[in-house]
Structure 1
Amino acid sequence: MAATTSLTDAQPAVAPQRYRLLIVDDDLAVRMVSRLALSKAGFGVTEASDGYTALSWLASHKFDAILLDARMPGMDGFETCRKMREQLNGAAVPIIMATGQDDDDSIDAAFESGATDFVVKPLNWRIISQRLSSLISASAVKKHLENRSHQISSMLKTSSEIMLLLDSDGIIQGTHQIERLPAELRAQLLVRRDFFQSLGETFSDSVMVAWAAAKSTQACERFVIEYFADGNRESLQGRFVPGAEGEWLCLLQGQSAALDCEPLAYKDSVTGTANERRLLEELRARLREDRETNTQTAVLRFSASDLRKFEPTIGRDGAAKVAQVIVERLELGLDSFLSTLPVETKRPEYLIARLSESDYVIVLSALYDSEFIDNLATLLLRRVSTSIEISNYLLGIDWVVGVADTSEASPTTDGLLTATAYAIQSDFQSSNGLRVHRYNAALKARISLDVEIERLLRRDIADGVLEMYYQPKYDLSDRSLIGMEALIRWHNAEMGFVSPAQFIPIAEKSGLIISLSHLVVERVFDQIVAWREEGFEVVPVSINISGIHLNTRTIVEEFRAGLQHHRIQPQLVELEVTESIMVDGMSKAFKNLTDLRDMGIRVAIDDFGTGYSSLSYLKNLPADCLKIDRSFVQSITSDPTAEAIARAIITVGHDVNLHVIAEGAETAEQLEKLTELGCDSVQGYFTGKPVPSSQFRMFFAGSLLAS
């Protein structure tokens, strides 16, 4: 992504961001002008210079619209648009295709690839802004209607009552279980007919009174329908329940059935245990009792990796059986554990509920002591973690348990359930290898900070706020500049400077690392071009690359397209990777790394000596350089062991024709010792601290030793 911070900052006024826009264009100047024009119009702009980068942005961020150049090197705009539509999976995100041609073939190709609209360059930004806003608004309306339709459809499918969906005029829009009505009445209640006229004059008056009252108060109103069937007088209880968008539900039951204006069942339809509604009401009641009896309530939340992944293998019936087995194991385990409690310990009241397809909750109340809860959670975790055999398939489910009680968490339904969610997010693992996480204030503070960092990082990556710093590398023999390492730095407007050691792990955990990696690569490529155009003799630039990014399917093509577009020789780019990636020779990352090196890109093994540290495997690795970890360099003049390790790395590295560089050099003595040991080059604060690109020019002249 092009560095446009200074240009953007120069604008006197920028409208508040209403929509998030992705601009895809290989022309840096077009992207810069686009950002300036559309940011001023209130759009939050994210840039991509090629189709591969755009698809990666789309995988990790939500956009309200996309402005896409048709003619790009590598994967053109038409192919990018087709892949975007596949990735969006039906989501109605407007895509405007921009091209320098307005011939019929180009227009047809744009719409056939899935574009929403088509514009011709040069772009009129006022018109583009208005068109984008119009398309985004239309998309939002369509999405709302689709969601509403799905909501009504789901309600009709899951209700056990006879149900009619009425519009605001009483016209029947849909029916559910109407076959349970007598044939004479059923024949009258047809879709698109007036409900009240269908009832006939003899018994429609009372229904009309309830209808008028319901519409007036927007509340549930009951009524009774009387009719004759087989010569007998029968009756139906009914109620009008307000929906949304002017729609109404007319719910009907036999007179003997109890009616309630609240939603339908308290039981989960698959397992027969309590559902979410029952859980919330029961938990609320038990918390009231806690206040009266001075007791505690604990909640254990068992969360599985997505159980839906098994459905293609075992079918919906099989998935239902899995849920039933899980509940059965929880019930048996709970009863078994509670029976072992000392006689003098009051047996707690419990409730098991199915909160979702992947989450099951146990509530234990009337507790005077909750010390046994962790042991109970561990026992139940062992039970549910045992493989389940369904239809000759053995299913292994990955579980994590979040535990919270009213001694630590807020004594409310939302407070307890939210606390279990905090606990589940924790990456803490118990010493026995089973994942039971207990909520406390310190955990909440840490998770809250991580969540806030992720939120701000997601925003700042998309807005291009993060900066690149560069640290020089020097040849130890003549102190000439032989390369530099690109380092990402984040100065957030709200949090100030955030260390890479803090935000990089969060980026990897949240999936933002690929977007961050794209940002780094694009900034580095743009910087190499800028220095080349200024007349500097450009040296190789090292980029730290995540194993997650190296495992992606498109990384090789991304680098190939980026190098070709910027006309950069592959030898000017070096990827720094960890030992773990290099050792796993069967991984996708290892294969991609081999392909990138075959392309001409250099590969360095970072922090060597801290991981596997096996010198014997070096001859088989696709690597050009070893970096001696700073922990050895910083004690190389005082610790004979550190010196011996550094000597061994340098010797073996040279034996297999690898360049060896030491990082973290901070003193003249360390520099002298590394030279004595035969190290090839050095990187550290003594020879040059990381600086922004604007300050790096001074290093092209040679080494500037620290005073």
Structure 2
Amino acid sequence: MAVSSNLQNSLIMMVDDEPIMIELIRIFLEENGYQHFEGLSDSTTAVAEVTAAQPDILLLDLVMPGVNGFEVLEQLRADEKTKHLPVIVLTSSSDAETKLKALELGATDFLAKPVDQSELALRLRNSLTFKAYQDQLTYYDALTGLPNKKLCLERLSKALTSFKGRHGFLSVLNIRLGQFRKITESYGPKVGETLLKSVSDRLLECVRSSDVVSHGGDSDPTRVTAHLGGDEFSILLTRIENNGDASYVGERLVKAFEKPLTVNGQDFFIPLSIGISIFPGDGDQPEILLSKASSSADLLIDNQESGYQFYSDEANKHLKEKLELQQDLRKALGNGQFHLVYQPQVDGIAKRVCGAEALLRWTHPEKGFVSPAVFIPLAEESGLMVEIGTCVLREACKQSVIWKSQGVEKLTISVNISGKQFRSEDFLGTVKSVLAETQAVPEMIMLEITESLAMSDVDKTVELLADLRALGLEVSVDDFGTGYSSLSYLKDFPIDELKIDKAFVDGLPNNKGDQAIASAIVTMAKKLGYKIVAEGVEELPQVDYLNALGCDLIQGYYFSKPLQPDDFLKYYFELESNQEIA
């Protein structure tokens, strides 16, 4: 009976007090291509030796002096390391009581003594095949086929055990994918999954290269590369001589991802942030080394940097502060620490306030003002964006009702909608509920989505936007021109407004590139019947240039910074009063 090479590489152990039986089984297994066999005739040391060796399968005699097979089986099942080890019990007894007891203790299968060689071959093959299937489910990531975090930690643990007492270093690289979450949020999970598979393939290709292997890799890249989950991968370097080897591999990985990955004809640039920890300097436990590498990668991500970073106390301190802030973020939702400010959107020619963008602010009880650039990514990581987004929408709707009662007419409040919020299970239902609860006039609420979000899963996006507009709401596309524009889709989108990103306003009125882009956006928007809002306008020459182009509304510090509701009201009526005087 042919046995696959993978099964032949399995480690088979046997515990039997008869050395001749062990030798017979050894000869049979070698004749059938099994390459790794260990026999133990002393049952008193069996549990310790089996636990240390971690075989793929155990052949266990029941009737032995000192410690019998039942006791060995019971102890193995009580240990997490051997809890699921396949055990074929060797027994000369055919009575039901013996078999039932062995089954209760966790026996996998039975083999009658004297052992029939054909039956042994069949039982081994079946048990090993089933174990291989279980291992695939337990230890490997279904999407990429790479080892998962559990197997990564086990292999790291074995590597550390073998390294202790020896010279040399061992290194863990934690790899994080820049922009991955935004891409998944904007383009949907299917694109994200395909992208992860492409990342996995490129990592393996890079690790497989001979020069990387010579700097600490392994001849089999799938043994050192793992997918820890989400946008996180890990590489274990086991043969490095110094920190320079880890630096070399980190640099090679970063360069390998300077080329885009292509999914469905779309190019995506995925910068890598790589954290590196070194044994023995950074610790001697698998979880500690992996955690320290991860905290170093976190430092790069939070600073929006690509490259590699060795572990440092600074990275550890930063991670602790980040975790504390995440906990505080959850408390802030229920403690009224969030509030909205409103930045006026002004008709640059008429000098009237026609709109306002609602912007979220967090006042921490101890740290004071926390920048949205800090807490918004934390909210996304913590899974709080849908809840926070709903609170923002509700508060903006309430404010719209208040201002209307105070005599503010025809003022549209723009509310930013995150990708997770937009793609949540019942976003439309949530919007309906908020409108009913607050009694806000839908025509006075503008929902802002980013361009990249609008272009993801186009059919569903168009359907949802049409449903939102059917409620009377208006829809704006934010950051226009910075993403992956597709005019063939945009012309059919049910939207009301485009916002020119600050990146194309900063160079006005002198930068020819910004002139061309701004002019093209305004011209196109006018022909499609959209309003145009320019963001980040800070100087009078910019205002004059945008007015001349035909831009409808100006938003930026030239007219006003974001204001508290009462201050916004004063500003609104101040401009209205100026119109009356004029």
Residues 180 and 422 (structure 1), Cα distance of their counterparts in 2 relative to 1, 3 Å cut:
farther
- Structure 1 residue corresponding to 2:241, chosen from 349, 357, 368: 368
Are positions 1:440 and 2:317 aligned together?
Answer: no
Q: Note the 1:421-432 alignment, pairs <5 A.
A: 421-422=294-295
Q: Hey, what does 2:339 align to over in structure 1?
A: 467
1:279-298 superposed Cα distances (whole Å, 9 cap, x missing partner)? 548626735555xxxx4332
Residues 296 and 406, structure 1, Cα contact 8 Å, conserved in 2? yes
Q: Hey, what does 1:659 align to over in structure 2?
A: 531
- Structure 1 residue corresponding to 2:282, chosen from 409, 423, 429: 409
Alpha-carbon deviation of 1:186? 6.0
Residues 398 and 440, structure 2, Cα contact 8 Å, conserved in 1? no
Alpha-carbon deviation of 1:555? 0.6
Alpha-carbon deviation of 1:596? 0.9
Q: Hey, what does 2:9 align to over in structure 1?
A: none
Alpha-carbon deviation of 1:704? 8.6
Residues 420 and 602 (structure 1), Cα distance of their counterparts in 2 relative to 1, 3 Å cut:
same
Residues 162 and 180, structure 1, Cα contact 8 Å, conserved in 2? no
Q: Hey, what does 2:30 align to over in structure 1?
A: none
Q: Hey, what does 1:163 align to over in structure 2?
A: 74
Instruction: Tell me the SS of whatever aligns to 1:297.
Output: strand
Q: What is the distance in 2 between the residues matched to 1:566 and 1:336?
A: 64
Amino acid at match of 1:286: F
Instruction: Tell me the SS of whatever aligns to 2:476.
Output: strand
Residues 342 and 562, structure 2, Cα contact 8 Å, conserved in 1? yes
Q: Note the 1:622-637 alignment, pairs <5 A.
A: 622-637=494-509
Q: What is the distance in 1 between the residues matched to 2:521 and 2:469?
A: 22
Residues 173 and 277, structure 2, Cα contact 8 Å, conserved in 1? yes
- Structure 2 residue corresponding to 1:286, chosen from 140, 163, 167: 163
Residues 705 and 408 (structure 1), Cα distance of their counterparts in 2 relative to 1, 3 Å cut:
farther
Instruction: Tell me the SS of whatever aligns to 2:244.
Output: coil
Q: Hey, what does 2:194 align to over in structure 1?
A: none
Q: What is the distance in 1 between the residues matched to 2:355 and 2:434?
A: 20
Alpha-carbon deviation of 1:547? 2.1
Are positions 1:497 and 2:373 aligned together?
Answer: no
Q: What is the distance in 1 between the residues matched to 2:404 and 2:451?
A: 32
- Structure 2 residue corresponding to 1:595, chosen from 461, 467, 480: 467
Residues 615 and 649, structure 1, Cα contact 8 Å, conserved in 2? no
Q: Hey, what does 1:611 align to over in structure 2?
A: 483
Residues 425 and 582 (structure 1), Cα distance of their counterparts in 2 relative to 1, 3 Å cut:
same
Residues 376 and 484 (structure 1), Cα distance of their counterparts in 2 relative to 1, 3 Å cut:
closer
Alpha-carbon deviation of 1:370? 4.7
Q: Note the 1:204-215 alignment, pairs <5 A.
A: none
Amino acid at match of 1:650: V
Residues 347 and 553, structure 2, Cα contact 8 Å, conserved in 1? yes
Residues 653 and 303 (structure 1), Cα distance of their counterparts in 2 relative to 1, 3 Å cut:
closer
Please report the RMSD computed on the Cα atoms of aligned residues, expressed in angstroms: 5.3
Residues 269 and 300 (structure 1), Cα distance of their counterparts in 2 relative to 1, 3 Å cut:
farther
Are positions 1:680 and 2:552 aligned together?
Answer: yes
Q: Note the 1:11-90 alignment, pairs <5 A.
A: none
Q: Hey, what does 2:52 align to over in structure 1?
A: none
Are positions 1:537 and 2:537 aligned together?
Answer: no
Q: What is the distance in 2 between the residues matched to 1:656 and 1:339?
A: 56
Residues 632 and 642, structure 1, Cα contact 8 Å, conserved in 2? yes
Alpha-carbon deviation of 1:674? 2.9
Amino acid at match of 2:463: K
Residues 535 and 555, structure 2, Cα contact 8 Å, conserved in 1? yes
Alpha-carbon deviation of 1:539? 1.9
Q: Hey, what does 1:566 align to over in structure 2?
A: 438
Instruction: Tell me the SS of whatever aligns to 2:415.
Output: strand
Residues 163 and 576 (structure 1), Cα distance of their counterparts in 2 relative to 1, 3 Å cut:
same
- Structure 1 residue corresponding to 2:518, chosen from 646, 649, 663: 646
Residues 427 and 518 (structure 1), Cα distance of their counterparts in 2 relative to 1, 3 Å cut:
farther
- Structure 1 residue corresponding to 2:449, chosen from 565, 573, 577: 577
Residues 501 and 535, structure 2, Cα contact 8 Å, conserved in 1? yes
Residues 547 and 589, structure 1, Cα contact 8 Å, conserved in 2? no
Residues 357 and 495 (structure 1), Cα distance of their counterparts in 2 relative to 1, 3 Å cut:
closer
Q: What is the distance in 2 between the residues matched to 1:553 and 1:657?
A: 31
User: Which range moves more in the overlay, 484-493 or 270-279?
Assistant: 270-279
Alpha-carbon deviation of 1:605? 1.9
Residues 636 and 673, structure 1, Cα contact 8 Å, conserved in 2? yes
Alpha-carbon deviation of 1:632? 3.6
Residues 491 and 528, structure 2, Cα contact 8 Å, conserved in 1? yes
1:413-444 superposed Cα distances (whole Å, 9 cap, x missing partner)? 5532322343566776xxxxxx9966433655
Residues 690 and 505 (structure 1), Cα distance of their counterparts in 2 relative to 1, 3 Å cut:
same
Where do 5+ consecutive residues of structure 1 fail to align? 1-157, 166-175, 191-267, 306-325, 382-398, 429-434
Q: What is the distance in 1 between the residues matched to 2:498 and 2:324?
A: 36
User: Which range moves more in the overlay, 641-650 or 280-289?
Assistant: 280-289
Q: What is the distance in 1 between the residues matched to 2:577 and 2:497?
A: 24
* Number of aligned residues: 414
Q: Hey, what does 1:526 align to over in structure 2?
A: 398
- Structure 1 residue corresponding to 2:292, chosen from 394, 419, 424: 419
Q: Hey, what does 2:171 align to over in structure 1?
A: 298
Q: What is the distance in 2 between the residues matched to 1:357 and 1:629?
A: 36
Amino acid at match of 1:580: S
1:145-201 superposed Cα distances (whole Å, 9 cap, x missing partner)? xxxxxxxxxxxxx99944399xxxxxxxxxx999999899968x99xxxxxxxxxxx
Alpha-carbon deviation of 1:531? 3.0
Alpha-carbon deviation of 1:404? 2.4
Alpha-carbon deviation of 1:446? 5.5
TM-score (norm 2): 0.56
Where do 5+ consecutive residues of structure 2 fail to align? 1-56, 61-71, 77-85, 102-132, 140-146, 181-199, 255-271
Residues 302 and 401, structure 1, Cα contact 8 Å, conserved in 2? yes
Amino acid at match of 2:372: P
Residues 578 and 605, structure 1, Cα contact 8 Å, conserved in 2? yes
Residues 479 and 364 (structure 1), Cα distance of their counterparts in 2 relative to 1, 3 Å cut:
same
Residues 378 and 436, structure 1, Cα contact 8 Å, conserved in 2? yes
Q: Hey, what does 2:6 align to over in structure 1?
A: none
Amino acid at match of 1:678: G
Residues 284 and 413, structure 1, Cα contact 8 Å, conserved in 2? no
Amino acid at match of 2:496: D
Residues 703 and 415 (structure 1), Cα distance of their counterparts in 2 relative to 1, 3 Å cut:
same
Alpha-carbon deviation of 1:494? 3.6
Amino acid at match of 2:242: D
